[in-house]
Amino acid sequence: MRRLEVSLHGELAGHLSEFNSSTYLFEYLSDYKGPPISRTMPCSVIRYKFDQFPPFFDGLLPEGAQLEYLLKSMKIDAHDYLSQLIAIGDDFVGAISIKELSE
């Protein structure tokens, strides 16, 4: 299992976990009081389970030539979405930042 820390405006909001290449879980921290990271994932629900890579996070990833450059320069598999998120880290458009959680 791999886990990422997801922050909004520099405040840790929750964790995105990958259990295998088709099962993902986003979980808000129980003490997080900020706004939701996405309108599609309000804080009123603590856990969101996905049977594919979550659409909100997929929307953060580059496309086209930028994606090809990222994959080639970082030697990342095109289907390894968590590694793509980690590689971009805090360079997303907007207020989201992501980093790998080492356990």
Determine the 3-state secondary structure of 62 from DSSP.
Answer: coil
pLDDT band at 13 (very low <50, low <70, confident <90, very high): very high
Map out the domains of the chain as residue ranges.
Answer: 2-100
pLDDT at 99: 92
pLDDT at 91: 75
From residue 99, alpha-carbon distances to 65, 74, 87 in Å are 23, 16, 9
Q: Rounded to whole angstroms, how far apart are CA atoms 20 and 66? A: 26
Dihedral, CA atoms, 77, 86, 72, 93, nearest 10 degrees?
A: 120
23 vs 91, residue with greater confidence: 23
Q: Rounded to whole angstroms, how far apart are CA atoms 103 and 84? A: 19
Three-point CA angle 89, 101, 7, nearest 5°: 50
pTM of the predicted model as reported, rounded to 2 decimal places: 0.89
pLDDT at 60: 87
Residue-wise pLDDT for 36-94, tens only, equals: 999 999 999 999 999 999 999 998 888 899 989 889 999 999 999 999 998 988 777 77
CB 68 within 8 A of CB 77: no
pLDDT at 49: 96
Q: Rounded to whole angstroms, how far apart are CA atoms 100 and 29? A: 16
Residue with tokens 């594919």: 52
